């Protein structure tokens, strides 16, 4: 197989490889665990397959599964569209569920700061899906490492926002695998441990479905902000602090969540898939 170019980007330490379509997508997805390995491969939290003609993106986890949405992935795709394809300051990126409006706020060399409309969050268990009725304000989930209290949020992908637990990497590594694959979530879920610091700031640790422990996640930040707003714990503009850095999330009068933050190009790699 001839060589192909992959470009690596990171957004607050959440990193993705980007492939421009058309390209050998099926072969890449088959080799995702090897490509994403941090010691034996290129190292990545996933793959973004970008179609510059349709301005659309498909998002793949390191285990080869496809994700519905990624906030950091979309901002990385936006940076790629600007840096590699000359996109302007206002455009839309299409994912499986919707068109996602993007506004470029700053251009700093290889770094693009953008604002992304995540949409209106849903608290309906059926939208995750989760095996609960209606829009529960709180659910109790039993795991081999203890019972937790959580709130269910969908922002185009599923989230389980956990309150009342130590917001540490160690506890996230304990709870994350069990909650991701809990019987309550037939399609698995993303997991966040959340601590409200003030009316304007929350702190989280993140376990991503299909990726594991993650330094930052845009949809996780949005889901946590939505859960805290719904409970009246924070204002409509909140900073979500993650190990990799912070994102700003605000809620509009129409209920949309607007997320802003940076994404940076890291390197280009010429890859022969036969090597993996």
- Give the CATH number for residue 241: 3.10.310.10
Per-residue pLDDT at 248: 96
Instruction: Name every residue whose Cβ is closer than 8 Å to that of residue 97 and which is 6 or more positions away in sequence.
Output: 68, 69, 156
Tell me: do 18 and 67 sit in the same domain: yes
pLDDT number for residue 41: 93
Cα radius of gyration (the chain) = 18
| Count of structural domains, the chain | 2
- 137-142: list long-range contacts, CB under 8 Å, 24+ apart: 137/230, 137/231, 139/184, 141/179, 141/182, 141/184
Range of the domain at 102: 4-118+262-275
List the structure tokens of 248: 């700003």
Q: Does residue 248 share a domain with residue 194?
A: yes
Same domain, 110 and 209: no
> How far is CA 198 from its chain centroid?
24
pLDDT, position 1: 52
Query: Same domain for 113 and 130?
Result: no
Cα–Cα–Cα angle for 11, 33, 73, rounded to 5 degrees: 25
pLDDT for the residue numbered 263 = 97
**pLDDT at residue 274, rounded to an integer:** 85
Same-domain pairing of 141 and 228: yes
Q: Check residue 47 and give its pLDDT.
A: 96
What pLDDT does residue 89 have? 96
The answer to whether residues 217 and 239 belong to one domain is: yes
Residues 140 and 112 in one domain: no
- 27, 52: one domain: yes
Tokens 């989230």 correspond to 159
**pTM: predicted TM-score of the whole model, two decimal places:** 0.90
**Do 44 and 131 sit in the same domain of this protein?**
no
Statement to judge: residues 37 and 135 lie in one domain: no
Q: Are 90 and 155 found together in one domain?
A: no
For residues 171 and 165, give the distance between their C-alpha atoms in angstroms, rounded to a whole number.
8
- Ranges of beta strands (E only) in 46-200 are 47-51, 56-60, 66-67, 90-94, 99-108, 111-119, 139-143, 146-154, 158-163, 190-198
Q: In terms of Cα–Cα distance, which of 197, 179, 194 is closest to 235?
A: 197
Low-confidence ranges of the chain (pLDDT < 70): 1
Beta carbons within 10 angstroms of residue 148's beta carbon: 22
DSSP 122: B
Same domain, 73 and 156: no
pLDDT of residue 97: 76
């Amino acid at each position: 197989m001839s060589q192909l170019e992959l470009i690596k980007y990171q957004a607050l330490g959440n990193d993705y490889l980007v492939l421009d379509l058309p390209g050998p997508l099926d072969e890449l997805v088959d080799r995702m665990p090897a490509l994403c390995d941090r010691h034996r491969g290129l190292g990545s939290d996933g793959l973004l397959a970008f179609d510059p003609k349709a301005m659309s993106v498909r998002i793949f986890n390191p285990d080869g599964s496809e994700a519905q949405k990624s906030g950091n992935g979309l901002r990385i795709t936006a940076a790629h569209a600007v840096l590699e394809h000359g996109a302007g300051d206002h455009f839309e990126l299409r994912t499986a569920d919707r068109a996602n409006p993007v506004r470029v706020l700053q251009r700093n060399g290889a770094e693009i700061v953008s604002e992304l409309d995540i949409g209106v969050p849903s608290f309906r268990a059926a939208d995750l899906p989760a095996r609960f009725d209606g829009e529960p304000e709180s659910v109790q989930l039993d795991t081999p490492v203890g019972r937790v209290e959580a709130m269910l949020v969908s922002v185009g992908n599923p989230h389980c926002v956990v309150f009342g637990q130590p917001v540490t990497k160690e506890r996230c590594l304990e709870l994350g695998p069990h909650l991701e694959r809990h019987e309550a979530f037939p399609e698995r879920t993303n997991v966040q441990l959340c601590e409200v610091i003030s009316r304007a700031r929350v702190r989280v640790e993140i376990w991503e479905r299909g990726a594991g422990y993650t330094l930052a996640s845009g949809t996780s930040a949005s889901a946590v902000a939505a859960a805290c707003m719904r409970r009246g714990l924070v204002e409509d503009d909140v900073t979500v602090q993650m190990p990799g850095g912070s994102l700003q999330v605000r809620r509009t009068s129409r209920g949309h969540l607007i997320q802003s933050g940076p994404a940076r190009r890291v390197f280009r790699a010429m890859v022969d898939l036969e090597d993996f």
